[in-house]
Amino acid sequence: MNKKTTIYDIAQALNITVSTVSRALSGFPAISEATKKAVTETAKRLNYSPNKLASALKSGKTHTVGVIVPSVQAQFFASIIHCIEDGLKEYGYRIIIYQSNESVDNEINGVRTLLEAQVDGIIASMSLETVNVAHFEEIINQNKPLILFDRVHDALNVPTITLNDFEAGYAATQHLIEMGYKRIAFITTVHQIKIFNNRLRGYKAALADLQLPVLEEHIIYGGLSVVDGELGAEKLLQMNNQPDAIVAGDDFTALGVVNKLKEAGKTPPEVGVIGFANEVFSEYITPNLSTIDQHPAQMGKECAKMFLNMIKQENFYQNVEHIVLNPTVIGRQSTRKI
């Protein structure tokens, strides 16, 4: 393998200096058309490819943004990542992805790795485990843009893009009530994550506003998964005061609930079920599943836009914006009470 060609090779070939080559290549105005053309052609002829590493080292800008998510395997995050990458790509930014797998240690590692890679900023959604946020503060201390989405944290005074989770919980519950259900249960996670608490608050508020009692035994704390949904439904079915509808923490949990209800001969919409996230499968299962759309595509777009805005600012954290997206109820068969 012959060595990679650098601007030195181009300079040598044309008997000019590297600075001229550099300027010609980077569209510097005060350059004669002739030399610019000569440089461009020679670059192509020698198959020159710029070393962004060197320019990054010099300029301090890598044009790379770090993205930390629990896992790219969740539809919600995949969709967001897709849109972040798409939104940044046309402005010359690429993204490095780091998955926390819902572990704080991984997350801490991720922040460190990304900072060492000299990313120009970080866009993140926290792991379920994360309580202490010192690692995120380090990003701010290094005076780099940090943007949080969906799973955010109040202790961090940074821009956020979130869903109105209170409203999501409220709307889901209200939807069920409007469809005629009266004893509504709620399955959520044990983790003290803001978004789940907010949904729960929304649930309680909707019940209160519509004159229905809030029963603590109808709130199930567990995990979020198909299996957890089955477990939750089982518990609820064993109660004396059985619910006639269930709000499940996400669509997978809702799916588990649906399975268990079918088994028990109470196929939705006999007992109403609504989930969160509008996963791909929700539309296609039987009965198809009512859910709350969390607009991940829009969230991703806003993240990208927010980053691009931030780097234009003198002081990144001067006026910290908080964008809140509104959830949308998607009513399908699983809540269509006859």
Partner DNA sequence: CTGAAAGCGCTAACAA
Partner DNA sequence: TTGTTAGCGCTTTCAG
Residues of this chain that bind DNA (CB under 7 A): 3-4, 6-8, 15-20, 22-23, 25-26, 29-35, 50-51, 54-55, 57-60
Nearest to its own copies of 240, 284 (CB atom): 284
- Using CA atoms, how far residue 248 sits from 24, 57, 122, 256, in Å, is 60, 49, 31, 9
Among the listed residues 64, 162, 173, 198, the single contact to its own copies using CB under 8 A: 64
Cβ atoms 184, 212 nearer than 8 A: yes
Contact between 227 and its own copies per CB under 8 A? no
Distances (CA, A) of 69 to 96, 122, 184, 333: 11, 11, 32, 32
Minimum distance from residue 124 beta carbon to its own copies (Å): 15
Q: Which of 6, 12, 118, 225 binds its own copies (CB under 8 A)?
A: 118
Pairing mode, strands 272-276 and 290-293: parallel
What is the Cα–Cα distance from 280 to 277, expressed in whole angstroms? 9
Closest separation in Å from C-beta 67 to DNA: 24
- Which has the closest alpha carbon to 175: 59, 337, 322? 337
Applying CB under 8 A, among 7, 11, 21, 62 the residue interacting with its own copies is: 62
Q: Toward its own copies, which CB reaches closer, 45 or 182? A: 45
Number of residues that bind its own copies (CB under 8 A): 44
Distance CA 298, CA 157 (A): 22
Q: Which is nearer to its own copies, 99 or 173 (CB)?
A: 99
Q: Which stretch binds its own copies (CB under 8 A): 17-25, 68-76, 146-154, 238-246?
A: 68-76
Task: Pick one of DNA, its own copies, none as the site partner of residue 132 (Cβ within 5 to 8 A by kind).
Answer: none
Among 23, 36, 82, 337, the residue binding its own copies under the rule CB under 8 A is 82
Of 82-90, 176-184, 196-204, 240-248, which segment contacts its own copies by CB under 8 A? 82-90
Region for residue 211 given its phi and psi (left: phi exceeds 0; alpha: psi -120 to 50; beta: otherwise):
left
Question: Is the Cβ–Cβ distance between 282 and 331 less than 8 Å?
Answer: no
Q: Nearer Cβ to DNA, position 24 or 80?
A: 24
Assess contact for 255 and 289: CB atoms under 8 A.
yes
Residues 6+ apart with CB under 8 A from 69: 77, 80, 81, 97, 98, 99, 100, 124, 125
Write the interaction track for its own copies spanning residues 37-56; mark x where CB under 8 A is met and - where it is not.
------------xxxxxx-x
- Residue 276 is which amino acid? F
Q: Is 142 or 241 the residue whose CB approaches its own copies more closely? A: 142
User: Are 334 and 287 within 8 A, CB to CB?
Assistant: yes
Least distance to DNA, CB of residue 106, Å: 24
Interacting residues toward its own copies by CB under 8 A? 1, 4, 49-54, 56-57, 62, 64, 71-73, 75, 78-79, 81-82, 85-86, 94-99, 101, 112-113, 115-118, 142-143, 255, 279-281, 284-286
